[in-house]
Amino acid sequence: MPARPLRLGVNIDHVATIRNARGGRHPDPVRAALAAVAAGADGITAHLREDRRHISDDDIARLAREVDRPLNLEMAATEEMLAIALRHRPHAACLVPEKREERTTEGGLDVKGMAPALAPFVARLGAAGIRVSLFVEPDPAQLEAAKRLGAPVVELHVGAYCEAEGAARTAQLGRIVAAARAAETLGLECHAGHGLGFDSVGAVAAIPQVVELNIGHFLIGEAIFGGLDSSIKRMRALMDRARAAGTGQASA
Ligand code: PXP
């Protein structure tokens, strides 16, 4: 069977982090988004955080207006973020947990424990035609809860796998493989993201049920050394090679 296409969503948050370090306009995350598309990104991902530490409201407005690829808005389940999503109508909204004190999104959403609080956000985004995804740990109980809420997509948090070494890494990969299979059984579209780099992307890209990867920090960091175009093209090539190898279609 031919491999399902694997999309790459490039997260441009940390272009805004660098811009904000000086408070000016350079480097512009929208310019980075356009460069990412030119380098092979299928979509652009941006996280508008409550404290606006990187992406700004104006960045979201410009990304929605100026980039002709699907925009995936990562957001906390708050009324403020919901209003922004409904105003700009991105292609997708990925609900993520958010704590002001964390440096990055440190774990998945507790969909099981927070189902009543999340339900109206899933429903209102969905009713507006926005594809809702829930960022969860690779845990079958969370996937079942996502299904019960009516979310069409889950994004598996693969950060623990990316950080682990040796046997622990193998065990973490096993959790992701099992969760991706469980997502398919439940009829959920399966994405993955967080912490992916050149050394970790292949194993995740090879999982046939995973159809989208969202990658940011590593790509922007690597761009310092070889440029954004080169870092994205290399990531894309590693993804595509692993994907083809995973289905026995790798060319020699
Ligand atoms: N997916 C989600 C839901 C995220 O919250 C993040 C980080 O903002 C990413 C993907 C990208 O993670 P990274 O920047 O580590 O590649």
Q: Which among 14, 15, 45 is the best mutation to test ligand 1's pocket, defined by most ligand atoms within 8 Å of the CB?
A: 45
Please classify residue 1 by burial: count the beta carbons closer than 10 Å to its beta carbon, then call 0-12 exposed, 13-18 middle and 19+ buried: exposed
251 found inside a domain: no
Distance from the first to the final alpha carbon of the chain: 19
∠59-239-29 over CA atoms, to 5°? 15
pTM of the model: 0.96
pLDDT at residue 251 above 60? Answer: no
* Closest protein CA for atom 4 of ligand 1: 194
Instruction: Average the pLDDT over 26-51 and give the result.
Output: 97
pLDDT at residue 192 above 90? Answer: yes
228 found inside a domain: yes
Give catalytic status of residue 54 as yes or no: no
18 found inside a domain: yes
- What does DSSP assign to residue 100? T
Atom of ligand 1 nearest to the CA of 195: 15
> Where residue 252 falls among pLDDT bands split at 50, 70, 90?
very low
Give me the number of domains the chain comprises: 1
> Where residue 247 falls among pLDDT bands split at 50, 70, 90?
low
Q: Is residue 217 within 6 Å of ligand 1 at its C-beta?
A: yes
Q: Is residue 135 within 6 Å of ligand 1 at its C-beta?
A: yes
* Closest protein CA for atom 3 of ligand 1: 135
Catalytic residue among 47, 54, 157, 191: 47
193 found inside a domain: yes
pLDDT in tens, 200-209: 999 999 999 9
* Closest protein CA for atom 12 of ligand 1: 194
pLDDT in tens, 84-102: 999 999 999 999 998 766 6
Number of residues that make up the chain:
252
252 found inside a domain: no
pLDDT at residue 7 above 70? Answer: yes
225 CA → ligand 1 middle, Å? 21
The pLDDT assigned to 249 comes to 54
Give catalytic status of residue 163 as yes or no: no
Give catalytic status of residue 47 as yes or no: yes
Question: What CATH number is attached to the domain comprising 111?
Answer: 3.20.20.70
Catalytic residue among 54, 157, 191, 194: 194
> Where residue 248 falls among pLDDT bands split at 50, 70, 90?
low
Q: In the structure encoding, which two tokens stand for residue 24, read together?
A: 């000016």
Spatial separation of the C-alpha atoms in residues 67 and 44, rounded to whole Å: 8
pLDDT in tens, 228-240: 999 999 999 999 9
2 found inside a domain: no
Q: Which domain holds residue 195?
A: 7-97+107-245
Q: Which among 11, 96, 231 is the best mutation to test ligand 1's pocket, defined by most ligand atoms within 8 Å of the CB?
A: 11
Sequence-distant (≥ 6) Cβ neighbours of residue 192 within 8 angstroms? 155, 156, 158, 176, 180, 204, 207, 210, 212, 213, 214
pLDDT in tens, 106-134: 789 999 999 999 999 999 999 999 999 99
1 found inside a domain: no
102 found inside a domain: no
Atom of ligand 1 nearest to the CA of 133: 3
